[in-house]
Chains A and B, each alone.
Chain A
């Protein structure tokens, strides 16, 4: 199906072919699911909501609930106030969530709906029951990407819910970013093992990785509670993982409640996990327990056992900016050579940060924000790579060019591992490394001539 892709690269201004991003609202919906008892609400046409739920369901293989304002032509002329009021009334009457998290769509943004005014009105006329909350984030689809939407909703949690009452010197905030429930579960395990008390938000573990117990619950037991979010303003500091997804909320928390923050990358791979553990140790005032030290030791052992297979392998990486930045660092740790490093999301920080990481090992790498998979394919046709790492959509390129492929990031629509196994922390790094190693060696075993087919590798 990619037979139309040529190596000849023409400048393209006006179109996007095979995107490496999607729109803001889906990120906001995902973030909102990380609050306990929360109903995400899409203020727009019902198609948006259906698409986001389907897409999230394909990635998580979990039921995803969200409501919609069900815009019609009337709403697009007269504004969506009536729709939102009726929606809030229905949601609280029937589904009875603790909190509703409203995000906008391109439609409601273009007609200029003023959501804070609508929430105020709903509060005044009693549509929002006592003790219940409605928060909102503006998530125009024509700005940024799904990553921006996630960051905006996470920031909205702080704006609406974080409060400053006192000081909790032994509590810190952890903003894990747009990662899978399995990753959040692993981060919480590490935090626990370190003996640190943390408010983790948003937290989709226990929401989108449920065991099968014969029940269907609209609001599962996971997610950060509103009480915990309230207390985030009292924490001693915030560890924010990822410039694009988490730093804005941490900054907001600093400005609003004076909680200082440490800006980290996602703890993917050796270097970034070291930094994360170091930050936990410093800010939490704790020692690194022996177990965590041993986890690191096992990762290091695996890296030394296998390092000859990674040396100078050319890699194409595509995905969301925070994921790609952290992964690029890990590839450098493994002595691999990132050749093309792209994200579909806009943001200059991406290119700066990745170039900085690649300055020594791969100064000639192509690094692009706001790019797409068509462009990536053209570069690969120009000069091939040994490995592609990215979301499921990269599989077309991997197939047509016969290049080993490791699935990583969002969305993964055709494999199951991401739903159960983390890619963060030392254990996550081990798993990523195993996948990279398997992909490279499986490819060699399949493609090499008989005389080079090895039993022992």
Chain B
């Protein structure tokens, strides 16, 4: 064993000297043999000839010796590598085209996978993340997943044996007030064991401990994110012990989290800048009361670490048992509740939301996978043609003693080189795809904290793609080329032989396949474009032009309701007086925004009895003259007015659908309904036209507008301007600061932007798949062109004879076109059938169009037919220029 290894190593590293020795040994043998023949009386020349004959192929003997030495694998690989590089250099045209195609295919796949990886597979930055599980409350109001209340959390944490630790946390926004103007930063309110259960170590100072979140603990402490520490505190090593003002509370910095630690959740905004202990809850979440005591306030997410030896299933059943115990003890709040456990990696998004993200990613993955397949089959076609051209080279090598296996291996190494070069170039393509990420974040209703990187897993994926690509495009052509028949190849007529015909057939099939795949991709792109176009033409029902929206965070100031109303009126009056401002109003929810506020509704029935409407109805709190400013038509009654304020009778405007649902045929103005959860009864003063509330593709649902001066809610300022809306941002900032310097502003943007953002998912799908489709189309056109050119070239002799016999240019054109058209029609047909099956997959992202929309199918088919015919025509036209004299003389 050892001698074997030493021998191999010596052979590998002393390759040159061993080659020389082998050479010398064999030469000595040869000379002795010649001597022997000379001594037996032959003339020297005849003796040498005889010896050579006896010896057989010198190269072949050497090759077999190398094989016998057993080093040949690595050695021949290196040699193949050098040879392959030489071959690729010798054919720069072929190499460039093949590498470009592969770089597009591999690069796009790498780019999309880097996004998939960062969204779905990136582990939580914690110690042994596989042991972490997420726990949700279920059942109340029929929800599959809900957050949990703090008292429930404490019960689970203190009783569980399957979990070695359980943490609770809530993603919040904190107003940081130490800079010139307050800034809202994403943060987390966490239980004291948060960092110890996750197994995270500080990069400075200490992290939180259970002592920090003792209820009633007055120690106000905060842990900073590495990013915040670096960006805003200049990575100050003496930061520990200094204080920050957050939501008007003073907090002492105790430490800094490690670099790259951004918490568990990827949805709901940016990674946290601050971590506060639970003891600070009333400051962190003002106005919500003492959440740590309220069993019906489900604010917190839970993540636990499995105890050593405990299984996922054991944890699941234990927590379900606890949930049952809680339901028994607190039937009012927990009566219908259960518990559900997920792997924490699957819970980095809200579980119901994850499937939407996955669906979208799957669409992108399928599209880029198709592009890779098309690129591979295209390169395969090129290789087949090149294989025919290289048959002579192969035959010579076989004749010189190379085994077919060796040739096959060598061809595969050449292909591997192609794919690796493609991958290297593809990393640039991948970087371009990754630059799409800001777009990608917008594509979802919930902001995502995405950070795609070329990490080990992504590069591993690229490596796998390279191997898959080599198998896809290289295996078949290499096998065919290596099997080339020597005699046939060496004879003049080789190119027209049976092997040539078989290769041609394969080429045709490959080209047809490319067309079929392209048809699927382009039809998908077409459907998504039509979808986007239709959605863009949907009228939202309001006028978004020249409207600036400014989030005003009154909650973090812990204003009383009256104070908040007074503040709002002040702001409105002063903003409306600004030059360049037409009017100003308020809304708690922006149109085409994400947030839903819902309530149960009770309507007075015929005999004064109340009947409860099924399900909950959405409501918004809007300011005076909201409908006038937004251009929403009032069907009945009046707009909201300044006089609809605190103290006056509570009123509401409802939409057309709600009016039809509750007062069909009658006039709802003057009627009353109750919102039990809000503890109020409202008089309907107006009926407004239906508008799009969240998405442009929703169907109308009942909707209620309350007066923002009567209903205390988070508010956004809506300002109609005469000129560029964003120009008013600074004056508005000054006005708010003049009234209360510490109220933070957020999300300053135009309503046009908001409407545009609401289309970003369909737009992104259309753009990405459109780009993929475009590349597919280019690749397939090149493929059709190449194959037809090849077919025509192979038949130039036949064409020459036909023309010599009197065929017209038209007949020749048809002859050449016919070949290509057959491929095109078969490819398109197969593609349409495949598309009919495939587009179903993404019907969920098509809102404005059916997945089998006949118009799109027809248009795409005609378009592809046209492109295909053009790709055929160029080489076919060239065929008609064939000079019969020249072609026939060549033979």
Verify that A and B bind, or say they do not.
no
